[in-house]
Amino acid sequence: MQKPASGRGNNMLRVVLVALGILGVLDTLAIMLISNFNLGVVLPGILGLPLLLLGIFLPVLPQSFKTGALPAAIFYYSYVLIFLLFAATSIRIYTASSKPPPQGADAIIVLGAGLRGDRPTLVLKRRMDTALKYLANNPKTVAVLSGGRGRDEYISEAEAMARYFKAQGLEPSRILLEDASTNTRENFAFSQELLKNRLGENLKLGFVTTDFHVYRAGRAAKKLGITAFGISAPDIWYLSLNNCLRESVAIWAYLLMGRI
């Protein structure tokens, strides 16, 4: 006997829900083994677990979750809204990070990232290597290395960057250290003050950060009245989705709080 169309539809829905749920949970479990714990790591699991549970228990749930009734509509359209917000924000992130940086900056601000003790993480190393390429092509540009010392860090991020830059042969005269900042806003505010005292005002400025962070960092600088263009460092490919998810949440949170 042929199954009713609604039965086949429910089975297909279960397959989709379970598959998406498993992908989200597995992503979180896998990335937790190789990355620091943060919101971007756990978000796929947070979003995936309800889908997985719904798919597993769909046959025994009330009929309202199998039809277009209000409980089901609220659940499904919440996920649609999350997807649309993420997609729209991702477009902004990609657009900002894909712009080629202008040449001839007076200074670039290298935004710090985490250290492991006194050693730069891969994220920070990629930012530094991107900055060094720009500095090699623009020999009159100076670099402000911006980042304070975190709780688990032996030295400031600025000092760790300075050691790396000097080891790569960059002249010490082209290096300025800003080692008090603890967030992106302070990176720009403290670096601007340092540059004003050393080089004056009305400078052509750039900043170096990881590709997913260029949009929010640029908005944070603009909020402070700082005009600066972004120089995008490549993200680690297997963390790209998680970082983009975390960054999307941060962008919307900052917008709601009026910080960008």
Q: What is the pLDDT of residue 65?
A: 62
- Report the candidate in 41, 228, 237 with the shortest Cα–Cα distance to residue 123: 237
Q: Which token pair is 108?
A: 């670039």
Q: What is the pLDDT of residue 8?
A: 62
CA 132-227-225 angle, to 5 degrees, is 135
- Report the candidate in 121, 136, 205 with the shortest Cα–Cα distance to residue 170: 136
Using only the alpha carbons of the chain, give its radius of gyration: 23
| Torsion-angle region of 200 (φ positive above 0: left; ψ -120 to 50: alpha; else: beta) | left
**Cα dihedral 69→74→75→76 (10° resolution):** 80
End-to-end C-alpha distance for the chain, whole angstroms: 61
Q: Which amino acid is at 74?
A: I
**94-102, long-range: CB within 8 Å, 24+ apart, which pairs?**
95/215, 96/214, 96/215, 96/218, 96/230, 97/211, 97/212, 97/214, 97/215, 97/230, 97/232, 98/232, 99/229, 99/230, 99/232, 101/134, 101/206, 101/229, 101/230, 101/231, 101/232, 102/204, 102/206, 102/229
Among all chains, which residue has been given the structure tokens 């042929």?
2
pLDDT in tens, 80-133: 999 999 999 999 999 999 999 999 999 999 999 888 888 998 999 999 999 999
Q: What is the pLDDT of residue 1?
A: 42
Cα–Cα distances in angstroms (integers) from residue 137 to residues 21, 44, 170, in the given order: 47, 40, 12
Classify 240 as helix, strand or coil: helix
The phi, psi pair for 4, rounded to 5°, reads: -60, 155
Query: How far is CA 152 from its chain centroid?
Result: 21
- The answer to whether the CB of 260 falls within 8 A of the CB of 252 is no
Intervals of the chain under pLDDT 70: 1-10, 63-69
Q: What is the pLDDT of residue 5?
A: 52
Q: Which fold has domain 107-257?
A: Rossmann fold (3.40.50)
Residue ranges of the chain assigned to CATH 3.40.50.620: 107-257
**pTM higher than the cut 0.75:** yes
Cα–Cα distances in angstroms (integers) from residue 182 to residues 2, 51, 86, 132, 157, in the given order: 64, 37, 27, 23, 10
Q: What is the pLDDT of residue 67?
A: 59
Q: What is the pLDDT of residue 68?
A: 59
